[in-house]
Amino acid sequence: MKTLSTSLSHGGVQGVYSHASETCNCEMTFAVFVPPQAKDGKLPVLWYLSGLTCTHQNVMDKGEYRKLAAELGVIVVCPDTSPRGEDVADEPDNWQFGKGAGFYVDATQEPYAKHYKMYSYITEELPALIAKEFPADMDRQGIFGHSMGGHGALTIALKHPERFKSVSAFAPIFEPSTAGWSRPALEKYLGADEASWRPYDTVALIREGKSFPEILIDQGTADSFLDEGLRPWLLEEAVKGTQTKLTLNMREGYDHSYYFISTFMDDHLRWHAARLG
């Protein structure tokens, strides 16, 4: 692991790091905020997965999470959204696919299968590195994210309820297998057989019996992607009659931006901290 930068913030340390990823076959960059309580022992870990076009940097600059994370004593890990590098297959003119748009899946189709293994990277390789290099209590993990990252957080939590004690999302893509802006990406990464998409679809997972005790969602009513790409009512319908308790906050007048995310970031941090202990 290489340390690219460290800065003191609210008594803790905001760092940016990179490492040679065997999973993604390229150099991967990620950010970690370690609060001041780390001097006394291991702390719970909260994963934040970013959305389309983003890197680890967006939430660092705009998410406004460090002050409260420092007060609560929670480590915040912010991975990148896709593999990077000159030899990584990409569609430079398509912001919904390729670099910045890994969709947190393990690609099976060429030429993407060599690098686009974001699901395994987030669930296996990077957690092992975090456990080794940081004062992280891996028995107390939560996960959240925004948009494409919200989709990733929900699907990962549903498939690993024994690992995560909490999950939430800002304006996530709930059913990417039927959303116009995600269907083409899933087909390119996973192939034309839509059955292979279902493990990466929150609504499909719940309909197949996957569950999580509680889910917190914040969604802006002025989000330009609400009707076409996000559609929170699909999750509302899917959890009816299940053991999953959904808290869905429709925030009047808010859009899809980090102005929205930063406004409700504290609510999500407190939600996770209460469940992480």
Is 223 annotated as catalytic? Answer: yes
- Closest residue by Cα to residue 202 from 153, 241, 247, 161: 153
d(CA 42, CA 136): 5
Contact 258, 63 (CB under 8 A): yes
Is 146 annotated as catalytic? Answer: no
What totals of helices (H) and strands (E) does the chain contain, helices first?
A: 9, 9
Q: Which is catalytic among the residues 21, 182, 223, 272?
A: 223
pLDDT at residue 61, as a whole number: 97
Is 147 annotated as catalytic? Answer: yes
Once rounded to an integer, what is the mean pLDDT over residues 187-212?
Answer: 97
How far, CA to CA in Å, does 29 sit from each of 13, 84, 96, 148?
A: 17, 9, 20, 18
Joined tokens for residue 93: 């003119």
d(CA 252, CA 73): 31
Q: Which is catalytic among the residues 147, 166, 168, 182?
A: 147
Place 180 in a pLDDT band, splitting at 50, 70 and 90. confident
For 99, which DSSP code? T
pLDDT above 70 covers a percentage of the chain that reads: 100
Domains of the chain: 2-271 (3.40.50.1820)
Q: Which residues contact 25 (CB under 8 A, 6 or more apart)?
A: 83, 114, 115
Joined tokens for residue 257: 């931006």
Q: Which is catalytic among the residues 56, 146, 256, 272?
A: 256
Place 186 in a pLDDT band, splitting at 50, 70 and 90. very high
pLDDT at residue 181 is higher than 90: no
- Closest residue by Cα to residue 233 from 181, 172, 183: 172
User: Buried b / exposed e across 10-29, counting CB within 10 Å, b at 16+?
Assistant: eebbbbbbbeebebbbbebb
